[in-house]
Structure 1
Amino acid sequence: MKIQNSIALFCAIIGFSAKSQNAIPIVSINPKEIISNEFIGSGIEFSAYPHADTDDSQWGKLMTDEKWQLVFDRVSFIKPKIARVMDQANWRYLKGFDATGNPIVDFESDQMKALYKLLDYCEKNKIIVILGEWGQPYKLHDTHLNLQNSFTGANDQKWIDLIVKNLDHLLNVKKYSCIKYYNLVNEPNGDWATTDGDFQQWKEGIQMLHKSIEKAGLGKKISIIGPDATDFNNPRSKYKGLDWAKQTALQIPDLVAAYDVHDYPSKESIRSGLFQKKFSDLVRFTDSVHKKPFILGELGLKGEPSSKKHLGDKFTSVDSQLSVYDYDYGVDMADALIQAINSGFDAIVAWDLDDAMHTKDDKGDKYQLKRWGMFNSLGKELTDDKADEDLRPWFYTWSVMTRNFTGDMKIVKLDNLSIDKVRATIGITTSGDFTIAIVNNSDAAANFTIDTKGLKLKSKLNKYLYSENNRPVDAKGYPVPIEKINLKGKRIPVSIPAKSVILYTTYQQ
């Protein structure tokens, strides 16, 4: 009898253990643990087509009204909350120098009118704009102005005055309220930047720019963002890559209204989750010194291109990511966006929207396109390939997440999600709307339950699915929900395929 009882007890323990191991994990929402309460949302790098915007540009005026409308229609679906608009003075308004060496500007040039077209769109659609210049105007970027020795660096007051004159025109004459931030020099820590990694030069430039903006009475309309550094170690720089952000917080916190950095992580660092850890530590540091919005100003994935058919493309420069043509890039960019949000970034900007915006070194060589975009709006004109104008896979995940994570949300913590390579983030509004994005970057399906206790649940959820064999679209190729879910009880059952993305939202847009 004792033997039988022991056997029965043993079987019961084994059965309980097996049941426990197969139990569906329950993920809980922790609205009291706020990751970001200054959330802006995600967006795009958006340039005014410097090689194709006017009759005088390198390619002529390929950006016709029809082409602009194509771009605006697609951007309208994305609903970016923020756009980074970088330019060059000599692409737009700097036309040379008079006999005394003073700059000649033309704010009604055809090139400026192309920029106004872009800014008019941002103004109408309430998109926050980060405006800036890639660097000081110089000869490499221009074929008809001799600017090689016209400016001496970011700390040249003549260049600062030129910038402020342009800002005064945009803010006071054109009355653009969408322009919130100014970015002085793209990636100033890089050896490709006009500052060549000289932190002191960049810092002096920021000090001069801040003083000049205040003197011009623009301080209530425009703020400086910085340092715009990239995770790259320029040996000539006093500080390593992202340490520029730490030094900005330590040395000149009162001169910048927001921090920003760039990153092009490897696919492995995204899939392993190391990306989130790196930036959680950085945001935590700057918050501890002087808390303010932190923006990831450029995000794309570096790595070996996987689209073999495009490797021999004669129009592609070495500064490209050919994985944009692949399904997996949509998963990886969604994963990167989720990790960026969870690490505490308040806004994330994708590099970039459209292949037609930039060429290597921006010399206008159509055989040196920077292929990073969600499409190539000039596919037929530049490459004689109309199909290159089609939306690429990662448009799906970036647009769905950008549309449904809004600036009135707080990003809060999700607890107990510990499935390998499965990550999620949630944004909640005070009115009861919420969006949950989930990525499964593993090779196996995953199942868990989200406990929504504490949320103001509405009757229906839209569910979007991005999987290799099922990602519904409308006639334009825009994502549509795979189903509407009637909420029953307080839990959302999640079954997410391998290498896929799911988004739940109360928004019915």
Structure 2
Amino acid sequence: MKKSLVSPPSIAALAWTLALAAGPIWAASASDVTVRLGKTVTSPFMGLGVQWDRFYYTPTPAAWNMIVRRMDYCRPGYLRVMVGTGDYCVGFDAQGKPKYIWTEGTAAQKADFKNLTDILDYAQSRGVPVILGEWSPPKKELMAEETDPRWPQVMADFVSYLRDKRGYSTITFFNCINEPNGDWSGNKDYATWLSVVRSLRREFDARGLNASVRIIGPDTTGNTQWLEPFTWIDRATKDAPDTFGAWDLHWYALDSEVLDGSMEKLLAEKREVIAKNDPDGLSKPRFLGESGLITGRVNGDQQPRVRAYEYGVMMADYVAQVARAGWQGALAWDMDDAMHLVSWDRRPDPPDALTMKLWGFWNSQGSRMTPPEDESPRPWFYTWSLMSRLFPRGSRIVETTSPAIARFRAVAATIQRSGRTDVSVMLVNNDAISRTMTVKVPDLKQSPTLTCYRYFETDRPEDDRRFPKAASLLKKVDLRKGCTVMLPSRGVVFLTTMIDRQKNQSP
């Protein structure tokens, strides 16, 4: 449903425009964005996730504390943590029984395993759900074939140990083979992957894990012009709906797929495929298991655009389309450059500019490298962390209506906490053209305090930690009449009624 342009806003709304605008107001009239609180798009929203793997270049204690502080600010809705079978299974004894690192590993192996449990400790202490998973089938020296029946058994033992013995109850999803449609995964084909996952499900059932840990899939990757990850979800939802407890995709989008809105259209179509093929499909989580932009990727697997402010706008547009299409979350690839190598054949210490996969919110090895400022949060952490905080796990994405404006997206959510209902709205202008939008919430009876955050190339307030800082705080805003906001160029505006009730300030 689209709405036509409205008449000029009230005098009060114009005052809010002046308070929120950064620069002159030159748009002739405002367009309405209407938030329909009674119309749910998807619920519950999983929030915004983050890929947090073990570090190849281990952070110092000071750097680890810095990472924890930043992730605490981000408040991720979920984490994805991947391992290899050899990271926890060291082989088999003479009777063919698996030997695990926690009982028979060397001191070095146990220390490396602690790098995994440190991440799980963080998630458990904050109550953050975890997707645990395997990068690929085991190395040949451990198991000769992907279809070795021992592999599902050791995966299930691994999950059972972590949940039942170590108490990591936040492990609630498991991902068998990262990106199985890619030749780097080591997977043979669709049929082989599905056979392994079905065997894994039987092992989970035998250990009573099925009630607490959902197997996700297909976890395929690509975009509309590369690898085409979408057909596997068509097939898996039809072939094995009872095997999977959640549905996920990876989408490394072309700029064109974001700018023209085709992401939203295709994801909405895939939501309908899930609903058609899986009788319980819409009651299962569905989300993006890795999210990023592939346009501009260089040097094998580096995305230098993460250093530019426009990447933060593009990823906000990406997430808006995920939510508007009725999917329940998107996960950032990735948190820190120091986790992943471009090539295992090249591992200098200290690392240089070509060593690590350049995709993160920051590089915790930045002080040892050039440019050292890479250790600071990059621009896209600004929008990702705000989306994560203002559209948290458990929120409800509601309908927004607006005129058909190219390269403009709006998304809104309600957040129910402590007997209070809050509203967050994100406006994304992914064009150089100035836009003036009036946000209206007809069903909101109270006149709340409204916090505004702005993300533009020369206008994105930060505090001394380089975290987002509110641009303005408006009291007693009547959102039934509307709040008019200027987006003078390419950028993002967040409006929220949320407050941190412990500190009595904006979130």
What TM-score do you get using the length of structure 1 for normalisation? 0.85
Instruction: Using CA pairs under 8 Å that are at least 6 residues apart, name the structure with larger relative contact order, 1 or 2.
Output: 2
Query: Aligned to 1:328, what secondary structure does the other structure show?
Result: helix
Q: 2: distance between equivalents of 1:404 and 1:453?
A: 20
8 Å CA contact 1:358, 1:364 repeated in 2: no
Q: 1: distance between equivalents of 2:344 and 2:97?
A: 26
Residues 216-254 of structure 1 show CA distances to partners (whole Å, capped at 9, x for unaligned) of: 12222211011101136999x9xx531111111111111
Distance 1:327 1:345, change over 3 A: same
Amino acid at match of 1:371: L
1:69 CA drift (Å): 1.1
The worse-fitting range, judged by mean Cα deviation, of 33-42 and 370-379 is 33-42
Which residue in the other structure is 2:62 paired with?
A: 66
Distance 1:166 1:363, change over 3 A: farther
1:376 CA drift (Å): 0.3
Q: Which residues in structure 2 correspond to 1:164-179 (within 5 Å)?
A: 164-179=156-171
How many equivalent pairs are there? 458
1:100 CA drift (Å): 5.1
Which residue in the other structure is 1:414 paired with?
A: 400
Q: Which residues in structure 2 correspond to 1:61-100 (within 5 Å)?
A: 62-90=58-86, 92-99=87-94
Give unpaired runs (5+ residues) of structure 2: 1-5, 10-26, 104-109, 500-506
Amino acid at match of 2:378: R
Amino acid at match of 1:454: D
1:318 aligns with 2:300: yes
The worse-fitting range, judged by mean Cα deviation, of 424-433 and 256-265 is 424-433
1:106 aligns with 2:98: no
Distance 1:362 1:31, change over 3 A: farther
1:375 corresponds to which of 350, 355, 362: 362
Distance 1:456 1:369, change over 3 A: farther
Which residue in the other structure is 2:51 paired with?
A: 45
Distance 1:24 1:177, change over 3 A: same
Q: 1: distance between equivalents of 2:197 and 2:120?
A: 24
Distance 1:473 1:233, change over 3 A: closer
Q: Which residues in structure 2 correspond to 1:188-337 (within 5 Å)?
A: 188-196=180-188, 198-231=189-222, 241-290=229-278, 291=282, 292-304=284-296, 317-337=299-319
Which residue in the other structure is 1:341 paired with?
A: 323
Residues 291-335 of structure 1 show CA distances to partners (whole Å, capped at 9, x for unaligned) of: 222110001001126xxxxx8xxxxx4201110111111111111
Which residue in the other structure is 1:487 paired with?
A: 476
Q: 1: distance between equivalents of 2:453 and 2:28?
A: 27
8 Å CA contact 1:432, 1:455 repeated in 2: no
Q: 1: distance between equivalents of 2:399 and 2:346?
A: 45
Q: Which has the larger radius of gyration?
A: 1
What TM-score do you get using the length of structure 2 for normalisation? 0.85
Query: Aligned to 2:293, what secondary structure does the other structure show?
Result: coil
Query: Aligned to 2:124, what secondary structure does the other structure show?
Result: helix
1:453 CA drift (Å): 1.1
Query: Aligned to 2:145, what secondary structure does the other structure show?
Result: coil
Q: 1: distance between equivalents of 2:447 and 2:60?
A: 44
User: How large is the RMSD of aligned CA atoms in angstroms?
Assistant: 2.4
Distance 1:288 1:456, change over 3 A: farther
Q: 2: distance between equivalents of 1:454 and 1:18?
A: 20
Distance 1:501 1:18, change over 3 A: closer
Amino acid at match of 2:115: A
Q: 1: distance between equivalents of 2:144 and 2:78?
A: 31
Which residue in the other structure is 2:434 paired with?
A: 445
Residues 464-501 of structure 1 show CA distances to partners (whole Å, capped at 9, x for unaligned) of: 00011111111110001101112333211121121110
Amino acid at match of 1:185: I
1:152 corresponds to which of 145, 158, 179: 145
Which residue in the other structure is 2:16 paired with?
A: none
Q: 1: distance between equivalents of 2:36 and 2:344?
A: 46
